[in-house]
A and B are shown apart, each in its own frame.
Chain A
């Protein structure tokens, strides 16, 4: 039994890492530029497609991973300059609609280019196989790599934000944008930089997700809604909140799917239990978010905001 729990816990953390990689950009863009970007999930999808296509052509996992990042960065740069930069001064409603329209455009464009058939990717030979953890559970190496990559990104982000001059500007800008601009920081450039960086994290996650899920149109949106739940629980604008929210959501969702049916069977007859548990386990994270918001309407780690 411990083995099963541990395995599901690791699965949850691994999902949490994906969520964190996508949420990090989302929360930075929201915190710094005050923009809700629904199309952030599309960048995850672009990363996955770039990875699938390049690794299909070259046959090399690592090369594809390295090359897919510039593809995502370029797409993000175009999106930022053409559309997102015009939304900074608009209200949330306009942002939601414009980026919703952007999803329609990108998804339909991807369907035109690559069709509706999902693409599949193999785990690279170097990372296939499992390792034994704590002597109790054998766990796939690839998933462990993902957890490691997520933690590494979290560490790098923390160093940038807490220790560097750039990070100082980002933190200051999140609190009060106008003042930072008055002090001579080139906000337009900083905006683009943050957006592209956030997109690259999402694209990186997309590229890594390839071997675990099917690469298909719409893969970004399902993840995106989960990521919104993460950053809302964590408090919008806070990287720490995003990490905590992502791991919580990842673990709760995975554990819920694995164990809710078992728990319900103890109280209900099997037929009723199986009917309810499917719904209940998908609803669990939304219930969690609603409870958090009702108790703390601005999330667990709200970022102080001037003006």
Chain B
């Protein structure tokens, strides 16, 4: 791989993301800022899942659970702030200084519990047990009648508040999410290049060999599971703020599937890959219906997944290296 090429691409995309709001305003289509915000939030979750799937070889099929934990933390706090009621003696709040850190801590805690139990299993059993935990949280959220049950809840007071920043302004909110994304991406880049990152690569390649030289693979896997959970929890908290709405849908198992698709689409085991994958996925979701419509396939434009499914199958079968492979050439 060509490193100059790579870092140029990275810096270029960074600048592009920063300039994006101006571009959209110049184009007169500032509604696209909301799509860009979704892209940045979803990308955080995708990158965090890639730490598990791509870097450690842990196929987690329940990653959306952490999105739910983050989103419900923000949502429930906002709910009690609006109703001016308390939850276990604590009053609700809209303050982002409390809600977002709390979302991160709670998702770390949930990831610690799920991880410590799930990581006792391997291979297909791991896929299934993470799927089960995801389902459990889904049904837990569905059963929270107080917070809207199946239908979820609106955040009537709007987004979280922060000193010096108005998150209800969509451009300021975009930059807020972008800052989190760049921070998380930078952290992950450092992480995968560190000694710990090498340990993860060794787990992916051969677990037994690693434990025979005295490194506990269980402990390392648990650490990365918690880190990935925090990433998704953060994305969930931002996503709740973005839509000002929280519902069990965010933890539905197809959400976990979507996240996996995004990682593969972009190219797993590369941090930039999942970001490209998210970009392509949202692009397809927004524009595939329009493209199909303009080609005269009106029926299919409503049912774009009918076209998306086969495309995805072809990608999985024949283009495993994803978009990353197309842009940078095969790395591994």
Q: Which residues of A contact B (CB under 8 A)?
A: 30, 36, 83, 86, 92-94, 96-98, 100-109, 111-112, 225, 228-229, 232, 236, 275-276, 278-280, 282-283, 286-287, 289-290, 293-294, 297-299
> Does B283 sit within 8 A of A, measured CB to CB?
no
- Residue of chain A at shortest CB distance from B306: A108
Q: Is the CB of B317 within 8 A of A98?
A: yes
Choice from B131, B143, B320 contacting A275 with Cβ under 8 Å: B143
What residues of B have a CB within 8 angstroms of the CB of A98 in the complex?
Answer: 312-313, 316-317
Q: Is the interface of B mostly helix, strand, loop or mixed?
A: helix
Within 8 A of A (CB), among B217-232: none
Are B264 and A101 interface neighbours, CB within 8 A? no
Interface contact B310-A101, CB-CB below 8 Å: yes
**How far is the CB of B270 from the nearest CB of chain A, in Å?**
15
The interface of chain B, by Cβ under 8 A from chain A, is: 53, 59, 61, 117, 120-125, 127-129, 131-133, 135-136, 139-140, 142-146, 253, 257, 260-261, 264, 299-300, 303, 305-306, 308-310, 312-313, 316-317, 320
Q: How far is the CA of A214 from the CA of B199 in the complex (A)?
A: 50
Give the chain A neighbours of B128 by CB distance below 8 A: 228-229, 232, 289
* Residues of B contacting A106 in the complex (Cβ-Cβ under 8 angstroms): 309
Using a Cβ cutoff of 8 Å, how many contacts connect chains A and B?
129
Alpha-carbon gap, A290 to B312, bound state (A): 31
Q: B125 to chain A: which residues have CB within 8 Å?
A: 232, 236, 293, 297-299
Kindly provide the distance from the CB of B71 to the nearest chain A CB, expressed in whole angstroms.
17
- CB pair A289–B132 under 8 Å, yes or no, is yes
8 residue pairs A–B, Cβ–Cβ below 8 Å: A94-B320, A97-B260, A97-B316, A98-B312, A101-B310, A282-B142, A283-B136, A289-B132
Is A96 a contact of B260 with CB atoms below 8 Å? yes
**Contacts of A103 on B, CB cut-off 8 Å?**
309
Q: Are A290 and B129 in contact (CB under 8 A)?
A: yes
A30 to B117, CA, bound (A): 24
Residues of A within 8 A of B306 (CB): 104-105, 108-109, 112
Shortest CB distance B149–A (Å) = 8
CB distance from B272 to the nearest CB of A (A): 19
> For B124, B253, B264, B308, which residue has the most chain A Cβ atoms within 10 angstroms?
B124
Contact in complex: B313, A111 (CB < 8 Å): no
Whether A101 contacts B139 in the complex (CB less than 8 A), given A86-B317, A112-B303, A294-B117, comes out as no
With A92-B123, A96-B61 already in contact, the answer to whether A290 and B309 are too (CB < 8 A) is: no
- Known A100-B261, A108-B303; judge A279-B144 contact (CB<8 A): yes
Chain B CB count within 10 A is highest, among A36, A101, A109, for A101
- Write out the residue numbers on chain A whose beta carbons fall within 8 Å of the beta carbon of B143: 275-276, 278-280, 282
Known contacts A96-B61, A275-B145; A108/B117 CB under 8 A? no
| Complex partner residue of A225 from B253, B260, B313, CB under 8 angstroms | B253
Q: Nearest Cβ in chain B — how far from A99, in angstroms? A: 9
Say yes or no: A97 contacts B312, CB within 8 Å.
Answer: yes
- Decide: A101 and B121 in contact? CB cutoff 8 A: no
Cα–Cα distance between A104 and B316 once the two chains are bound (Å):
14
Q: Name the CB-closest residue of A to B116.
A: A294
The residue of chain B having its C-beta at the shortest distance from the C-beta of A100 within the complex is B257
